[in-house]
Amino acid sequence: MESPLAALLWRSLRIYQVFGANTEPIPSDASVLARCREHASERARAGKGWLFMETAGGVHSPGPSGTTQADMYTPLRAPVVLIGDAKLGGISQTIASFEALRIRGYDVQSVMLFQDTTYQNYLYLADYFLQKYSIPVMSLQAPPERLQNEARDVEAMKEYYEQRTEENVVKTVLEHLDQSHTKRLARLDSMATKAHETIWYPFTQHEHLPAKDIMTIDSAHGDYFQTYNAQSPEDGGALRASFDGSASWWTQGLGHANPQLTMAAAYAAGRYGHVMFAGAIHEPAMALAETLLQGTGNSRLTRVFYSDNGSTGTEVAVKMGLRAARVRYGWGPHEKLGVLGLRGGYHGDTIGAMDCAEPCVYNENIEWYEGKGYWFDYPTILCKDGTWQVTAPAGLEEELGRPREYASLRHIFDVQGRERENQHRLYEEFIVGKLEALRAQGRKFGALIMEPIVLGAGGMAFVDPLFQRTLVQVIRRSPHLFTSEPGVRARTEASKQWSGLPILFDEVFTGLYRLGRFTPSTFLGVEPDVAVNAKLLTGGLVPLSTTMASEDVFDVFRSADKADALLHGHSYTAHPIGCQVGLESLAMMRKMEKRGAWDWAKRQGWVAAPPTPASRKTAAEDAEVWSVWPLDLVETLSRRAARVDGVWALGSVLAVHLRDEAGAGYSSTAALAVREALAKGEADGPNGPWNVHARVLGNVIYLMASQTTTREGVEKLSDLLVNSLQ
Amino acid sequence: MESPLAALLWRSLRIYQVFGANTEPIPSDASVLARCREHASERARAGKGWLFMETAGGVHSPGPSGTTQADMYTPLRAPVVLIGDAKLGGISQTIASFEALRIRGYDVQSVMLFQDTTYQNYLYLADYFLQKYSIPVMSLQAPPERLQNEARDVEAMKEYYEQRTEENVVKTVLEHLDQSHTKRLARLDSMATKAHETIWYPFTQHEHLPAKDIMTIDSAHGDYFQTYNAQSPEDGGALRASFDGSASWWTQGLGHANPQLTMAAAYAAGRYGHVMFAGAIHEPAMALAETLLQGTGNSRLTRVFYSDNGSTGTEVAVKMGLRAARVRYGWGPHEKLGVLGLRGGYHGDTIGAMDCAEPCVYNENIEWYEGKGYWFDYPTILCKDGTWQVTAPAGLEEELGRPREYASLRHIFDVQGRERENQHRLYEEFIVGKLEALRAQGRKFGALIMEPIVLGAGGMAFVDPLFQRTLVQVIRRSPHLFTSEPGVRARTEASKQWSGLPILFDEVFTGLYRLGRFTPSTFLGVEPDVAVNAKLLTGGLVPLSTTMASEDVFDVFRSADKADALLHGHSYTAHPIGCQVGLESLAMMRKMEKRGAWDWAKRQGWVAAPPTPASRKTAAEDAEVWSVWPLDLVETLSRRAARVDGVWALGSVLAVHLRDEAGAGYSSTAALAVREALAKGEADGPNGPWNVHARVLGNVIYLMASQTTTREGVEKLSDLLVNSLQ
């Protein structure tokens, strides 16, 4: 499903999907989902009642597109009545069919089957489903054998139905379904209030979060949440398709509830559960490490350290970097070391990761926070009034005079071409000047840590790649700027790899195809010594982080003394589920890249002629700069000069920087009106109500697609966004 | 399976499980697994070849115990040939059967079915399995209809078989299986070396980890890993059952690869994937929060904050505690605040969690570590030479003279009875004395953080619960010891709940039934203001942590200013898979508690008469102190005075403190010999080779069972442990 499709839930009309475990497959229609919804909607307008939608064939019988029906019907999220199989082998088939539904998030509310007196499947199944899932199994005496004499057959069947009516089995089933329906609605209705009383939300000022503003998510599929609409009338759908505009905090790459990722997770759970990871190896951790090292194409990186999230992965990176620098420069363990970074950088919320960010209103109130470093200003990119510009900060600005304009984003990203034109000289002078001043102050640094290309949480700042490239290059050739000890320059030059300071890239947000490439470091044309990944690493399913490092850095921790080791770890380090899902998710994205799955996006004004599969090179060699958001949309929005300061798009990210007279930044409220307009969405789309759940960063509103979003999905969203900015 | 059972893998003999999707169920035997293994072992001794073990019935046809066969055969871990179904509805049945196997960790290597010309299931399935799983589907022309004339039927079948032989289909299948077998062995054989070159291990001095010491885990089931034995001869099994003696870093509660947890994980994956958790609520997060708050029975706790692991959960707790104290006492944001804790406490490896631990050889080498607090000495419990004793540290020791002896562990845990005997007075004086001295030094503290009952990573120190109870009580009644500002006492007394300092319990290791109870705080009879859980929270499957807090603490962060909020969060905060698995896992353990599933353990000398289900009270009221490890085992081991200093057991933990002339602690090597003996295990058990994978903490060797370990399993382990300590 590419277009938003609201799931089926009405207050009065009770809707069920009836899956047979062994019924006959019949041909079906490509728009079957839309028609199901349309029909349900009509029926609900007609009044209360029941609607049972029987599927054709077994749970995994192919639908019209070839997708099996268990996968096809998931967006509708109707509760399920499963028709079990009373025949020989029917226990196995009924349970296997149930599981196929369950692992796709269906709520099977009842299992019904005939009472076969020979096999008595219903007795076993009644016990099985009650014990394991608290699901009642309803069984009916099987109908009589078909009689040759038609009149007598009709008579026999009539009698059969009368007996069943007396038994009240069907009534019992309906009552059970009715109770479940009422319970489901009541639970959805109460959750926001209960959450308001019970949950302590991340990053949230609860004083600003009334219960009514808490979004109740019933389920999610593809790029859309299915959210509960507490105000929906009796004859309106109670669930709404809501585009997950933040890609669930930038984690989603292959769509919510992707069945391939579910199967990967379940396979690892079934094979290992979790196994501890000190001095042990298992297949998913091994294969994922191999895939990552090979995928980055970074000749420096040889080691993979696993942890649980971007914040822990950053702490690991910083421990690596600081130690390497300290040993290289001969500093003592209690030397006060900082990191170099970029202003507005963000690396996570554990204290060590926080300490890598400069003090600001949002961290300096935290008791143990202590910003440890120096953070550079940097030039940023925006499309303003239809033109791509690089705006330099104070210090650099004076010399450039005014923003430099470029013919296209591609021209800005041609960092080697710009170097040939000496555009980096000014950057070099600026950086060297700062580093010399810091050395003069006696400050010591152990690493550079930065997010390549985009500083996400810092307000979707789109950094000039030439600046980041120059920063790395200056640091690497300037060990003398980090120590006054003579001879250290010789030592660092004799090193296998790193020089100056270890370069740590936080690719948690920008890595693994978020910006269109396996690693964003290829935009810069420089290789970090340590790289942190998370978010898209598991395709948006479970927490997992990797910190990759060079052998050079790794070797610093080797000694006869255990205390010299990197003494960091978590209980679920390299948990097989995360690794297996990571493996599957990277394999899927790499396959998409290879087969040119994003060529449609590249042709939206970004790239004249995407390479043919034959001419396609590796990601690292690919000079393409493109987005799933059309160039035309970026330019159109950038011309709304009254409200818009500038726009950029890259990979699956679109960021609109809004004008705010009161000033930009995190405290700005300029983007809230746009967010509200997006949240209104369409109350009456052909597939039911839908809207966009967007998150803002101060004066910036952004939309993030997944790597599986289609052109049709993007077009719908683009139209809504353009209208929201009228 | 309770006894260790090595999985089926021989170098020469190729062994396969053949699952039919639609074959006939036949009666089977209770010892079918052992017999499969025995037969395979005999066959392997007889030489090279093939062994196909055909199951009876479909994948989910019930085995003799009622467990379905897909679950029953998992410990054998034989690769699978799935016989597909060519009939009407067979696509659905074949895929559903495949998925039932896949989510249990089976490797299906081939699907075989007949070519039905009407339905052509084989065409669809060949494409499906190749595209999605790279699994080849082999199809054979169906045999001719059975003929009435027997001679002609035999002739027809003969002709049929001859044609098939010409087609070479079976040969192709065998070649494919052969290649997979060789590949599997080669991969297992290479993994330790590859891991040695590629993985950066947690907590590991790589100089001490040669490739040969890296354990290759093929899979895990129940309490056992299946590990690869690189030295196994041609006729010996290449996999070994290895008891997971550290419960995979203390995470396992319901056995590895528990199918109920797999289904829970897969259901959440299929329903949501992950959905972001700011200002939103979903069912698993809501229900888990409710279950936890209700389960603790702690009247103070009303709020649940989700994060990813014990370390992040601790950082959240500390941020909560420090802020609450700072606001209460009117300190500025840059006031230097410490925490109170216990010597040897450990709370995780992110910098903020590290800073809660006292400086020692294993953290003071970390660049940004800075121990922030004061850490108390404390009295510890051990069973020495058959007697339970409490040994006090210096300071307390002088007054007690010598270790105090008790009739039983239960007597030590009767903290209220001991208070009536004034045994806490000495503790009080000691604690007040220290706090007064610290105030005199001008030091300021914002929270008490400690692990109730057991300091795990700190060397399995078993703390006198009366000391921890007294510490909390002294702090709560002594706000004057934390500030010299007049009037603050009145302010703290007017508070709804916390007084003195917020009390934070790190229950990451000790919580959720690890020590036999939902929360270990009931042993102390005091309620913390903030409690951190992780590890067993997800039954040992995926990372997840909760930090529960009181409304009092929560309210401190409410204001009109966003910057006053608790600005902490992770991308996968409250990820539905973790929450759903947590929900399932807690439900399973609570059910076990209610139905008296651990009564057999209690009767092993710990509790005279476990309460009947009728007389059973809630966990919080339950005064039982027991372990799955028999009291007799503890006493026996404690009498090995030449090697053993003392022993304790509680819940599923058994810790043996060994004598070390060179001194106890993390650098001791005293436990290594015992670990080696356990690692030898039995080369020739009735179910194949098995051993114990134990981890040591300096001079301490511990074994940790899961909450589903049976008496039989414990007995086997006890015997091995006693022998290992000869």
The secondary structure of A498-523 as a DSSP string is --SS-EEEE-TTTTTTTTSSS-THHH
pLDDT, residue B168, reads: 84
Edge-first strand listing for the sheet containing B682-685: A280-282, B215-221, B224-228, B239-244, B688-693, B682-685
Would you place residue A616 in the very low, low, confident or very high pLDDT band (cuts 50, 70, 90)?
A: very low
Q: Do B707 and B652 meet the contact criterion of CB atoms below 8 Å apart?
A: yes
Are B115 and B122 spatial neighbours (Cβ–Cβ below 8 Å)? yes
Helix B576-594 / helix B259-271 crossing angle, nearest 10 deg: 150
Give A-chain residues touching B93 at CB under 8 angstroms. Answer: 22, 58, 60, 93, 96
Whether A214 and A227 have beta carbons less than 8 Å apart is answered as no
Residues in chain A with CB shorter than 8 Å from the CB of B368 are 318-319, 322, 337, 352, 355, 372
- Of A199, A549, A554, nearest to B289 by CB-CB distance is A199
CA dihedral of residues A578, A569, A566, B362 (deg, nearest 10): 180
CB atoms within 10 A of CB B712: 10
SS3 state at A151 = helix
The alpha carbon of residue A444 is apart from the nearest alpha carbon of chain B, in Å, by 13
Residues A699 and A668: beta-carbon distance below 8 Å? yes
Q: Which of A42, A41, A105 is nearest to A73 (CA)?
A: A105
On whether any CB of chain A is under 8 Å from the CB of B64, the answer is no
Span B702-712, average pLDDT: 94
Query: Given a cut of 80, is residue B5 above it in pLDDT?
Result: no
Backbone angles phi, psi at A643, to 5 degrees: -110, -25
- Residue B69 near residue B61, CB atoms below 8 Å: yes
The residue-averaged pLDDT of A640-663 equals 92
Q: What average pLDDT does this structure show over B391-402? A: 74
CA dist B528 → A201, B171, B301, B374 (Å):
21, 67, 8, 19
A270: closest chain B residue by CA: B104
Query: What are residue B219's DSSP bridge partners?
Result: B226
Q: Note the pLDDT of residue B234.
A: 85
> What's the pLDDT band for B488 if we cut at 50, 70, 90?
low
Question: What's the helix, strand, coil split of chain A in %, to 5?
Answer: 40, 20, 40
The predicted pLDDT at position A194 comes to 98
CA distances in angstroms from A693 to A215, A702, A718, listed in the order given: 10, 11, 14
Residues on chain A touching B104 (C-beta within 8 angstroms): 270-271
C-beta separation of A458 from A345 below 8 A: yes
Whether B545 and chain A come into contact, CB under 8 Å, resolves to no
Question: Which amino acid, one-letter code, is at B191?
Answer: M
Identify the CA nearest to B202 among candidates A298, A562, A351.
Answer: A562
CA angle, A558 then A561 then A566, to 5° = 55
Q: Minimal CA–CA distance to A522: which of A576, A453, A616, A427?
A: A453
User: Distance, in angstroms, between A92 CA and closest chain B CA?
Assistant: 4
> Distance (Å, rounded) from C-alpha B237 to C-alpha B37?
10
Closest-CA residue of A relative to B75 is: A271
Q: How far apart are CA A417 and CA A478, in angstroms?
A: 23
List pLDDT tens digits, range A391-428: 998 777 655 568 899 999 999 999 999 999 999 999 99
Give pairs for A227-231: CB < 8 Å, separation 24+: A227/A693, A228/A188, A228/A189, A228/A191, A229/A689, A230/A189, A230/A192
Q: Do B278 and A566 touch (CB under 8 A)?
A: no
pLDDT tens digits along B128-141: 999 999 999 999 88
**Nearest-neighbour CA in chain B from A226: distance (Å):** 9
- Indicate the range of A43-57, B21-35, B405-419 predicted with least confidence: B21-35
List CB contacts (< 8 A) between A352 and chain B.
350-352, 368
Would an 8 Å CB–CB cutoff place B373 in contact with chain A?
no
Cβ <8 Å between A214 and B61: no
| Interfacial B residues in 345-364 facing A (CB < 8 Å) | 348-353, 355, 361-364
pLDDT at residue B490 in the model: 55
- Among the listed residues A68, A72, A91, A5, the one whose alpha carbon sits nearest the alpha carbon of residue A41: A5
Which of A522-526, A696-700, B5-9, B375-379 has the least mean pLDDT?
B5-9
Segment B634-638 mean pLDDT = 97
Per CB-CB distance under 8 Å, the chain B contacts of A111 are: none
Pair A243, A717: CB distance under 8 Å:
yes
- Verify whether the Cβ–Cβ distance A577 to B273 is below 8 Å: no
Q: CA B569 to CA B586: how far, in whole Å?
A: 24
pLDDT band at B610 (very low <50, low <70, confident <90, very high): low
Is residue A381 within a helix (H) or strand (E), and if so which, with residue range? strand A380-384
Structure tokens at B182: 């060789």
Which of A4-8, B428-432, B601-605, B692-696 is the least confident region?
Answer: A4-8
Provide the pLDDT for residue B132: 93
């230097």: which residue's tokens? B336
Name the minimum distance, in Å, from the CA of B646 to any CA of chain A. Answer: 26
Query: Which residues 590-649 on chain A approach chain B with CB closer than 8 angstroms?
Result: none
Nearest-CA distance from B418 to chain A in Å? 36
So what's the pLDDT on residue B43? 87
Contact A266 B567 (CB under 8 A): no
B13 has pLDDT over 70: no
Q: What strands lie across the sheet with B503-506, from one edge to the other?
A: B301-307, B545-550, B530-533, B503-506, B444-450, B337-342, B373-376
Mutation to test the B interface, candidates A251, A283, A334, A571, most B Cβ within 10 Å: A571
For the segment A267-294, the average pLDDT, to the nearest whole number, is: 97
| A81 within 8 A of A52, measured Cβ to Cβ | yes
Amino acid B24: pLDDT:
42
High-pLDDT (> 90) share of chain B, %: 73
B529 close to A (CB below 8 A): no
A278:B202 CB<8 A: yes
Nearest to B627 by CA among B702, B699, B533: B702
Q: What is the pLDDT of residue B616?
A: 46
Q: What is the pLDDT of residue B28?
A: 43
Tokens of B356: 């809660």
For residue A102, the chain B residues in CB contact (below 8 A) are 263, 266-267, 270
Task: Enter the DSSP assignment of B199.
Answer: B
% of chain A at pLDDT higher than 70: 91
Q: Do A277 and B201 touch (CB under 8 A)?
A: yes
Does B76 touch chain A if contact means CB atoms closer than 8 Å? no
Q: Please report the pLDDT score of residue B398 as a whole number.
A: 54
Identify the pLDDT of residue B166. 83
Q: What is the dihedral of CA A62, A64, A67, A70, to 10 degrees?
A: -60
Is pLDDT above 80 for A494?
A: no
Give the position of tokens 């690396």. A347
Q: What single string gives the DSSP state of each residue in B297-319?
A: --SSEEEEEEESSHHHHHHHHHH
Chain B positions in Cβ-Cβ contact with residue A202 (cut-off 8 Å): 277-278, 305-306, 566, 568-570, 573
DSSP 3-state of B196: helix
Where residue B489 falls among pLDDT bands split at 50, 70, 90? low
**Looking at the partner chain, which of A59, A187, A273 has a beta carbon nearest the beta carbon of B96?**
A59
B54 close to A22: Cβ distance less than 8 angstroms: no
- Using a CB-CB cut-off of 8 Å, the residues of chain B touching A667 are 562
- Most trustworthy range by pLDDT among A665-674, B388-397, B520-529: B520-529
Strand-strand pairing, A387-391 and A380-384? antiparallel
Q: Among A402, A360, A364, A407, which Cα is nearest to A388's?
A: A407
What was the pLDDT predicted at A12?
Answer: 63
The confidence score (pLDDT) of residue B611 equals 56
Q: How many residues would you count in chain B?
A: 726
Task: Tell the residue number behind the tokens 């980055």, with chain if given.
Answer: A296
pLDDT band of residue A362 (cuts 50, 70, 90) is confident
Highest mean pLDDT: which range of A577-581, A665-669, B665-669: A577-581
Residue A646 pLDDT > 80? yes
Of the candidates B274, B449, B726, the one whose C-alpha atom is nearest the C-alpha of residue A221 is B274
Q: Give the pLDDT of residue A247.
A: 97
State chain B's mean pLDDT as an integer.
90
Residue A318 backbone phi and psi in degrees, to 5: -65, -40
A vs B: CB pairs below 8 A: 558
| Residue type present at position B251 | T
**Residues A57 and A21 sit within 8 Å (Cβ to Cβ):** no
pLDDT of residue A634: 98
pLDDT at A20 over 80: no
% of chain A beyond a pLDDT of 90: 73
Buried b (16+ CB within 10 A) or exposed e, A258-296: bbbbbbbbbbbbbbbbbbbbbbbbbbbbbbbbebbbebb
- Select from B251, B305, B353 the Cβ nearest to the Cβ of A274: B251
Entry pTM: 0.95
From B259, B263, B350, residue closest to A312, measured CB to CB = B350
Residue B570 · residue B308 · CB < 8 Å: yes
Nearest by CB to residue B293, choosing from A198, A348, A562, is: A198
Q: Per residue in B456-474, is it b (16+ CB within 10 Å) or e — as a string?
A: bbbbbbbbbbbbbbbbbbb
The Cα B524–Cα B540 span in angstroms is 26
In chain B, the residue whose alpha carbon lies closest to the alpha carbon of A127 is B66
Cβ <8 Å between A310 and B570 = yes
Give the gyration radius of chain B's Cα atoms.
29
**Chain A partners within 8 Å of B193 (Cβ):** none
Helix axes B169-198, B150-167, angle to 10 degrees: 40
ipTM: 0.95
- Nearest of B567, B279, B281, B286 to residue A208 by alpha carbon: B279
For residues B397-431, one letter each, b for 16 or more C-beta atoms within 10 angstroms of the residue's C-beta and e for the rest, the string is eeeeeebbebeebbebbbbeebbeeebbebbeebb
- Of A33-42, B376-385, B454-463, B581-590, the poorest mean pLDDT is in A33-42
pLDDT(B275) > 50:
yes
Hey, is the C-beta of A225 within 8 angstroms of any chain B C-beta? Answer: yes
Question: How high does pLDDT run on average in chain A?
Answer: 90
CA B103/CA B124 separation, integer angstroms: 22
Q: Which two tokens stand for residue B296?
A: 């603790």
In chain A, what residues touch B560 (CB-CB under 8 Å)?
A: 207
Tally of CB atoms within 10 A around A332:
6
Is the CB of A279 less than 8 angstroms away from the CB of B214? yes
Q: What is the pLDDT of residues A215-269, one digit of tens each?
A: 999 999 999 999 999 988 888 889 999 999 999 999 999 999 999 999 999 999 9
Instruction: Establish how many alpha carbons lie within 13 A of residue A541's alpha carbon, considering only the half-sphere containing its beta carbon.
Output: 33
Name chain B contacts of A312, Cβ cutoff 8 Å: 308-309, 311-312, 349-350
CA distance B726 to B723: 5
pLDDT of amino acid A321? 98
Task: Assess B187–A contact: CB distance below 8 Å, yes or no.
Answer: yes
Report residue A276 as tokens.
């501890």
A527 inside 8 A of chain B by CB: no
Instruction: Quote the pLDDT of residue A665.
Output: 66
What pLDDT is stored for residue A250 in this prediction? 97
Q: How many CA atoms lie within 13 A of B334 on its CB side?
A: 4
Q: Which of A192, A205, A244 sits opposite B564 (nearest CB)?
A: A205
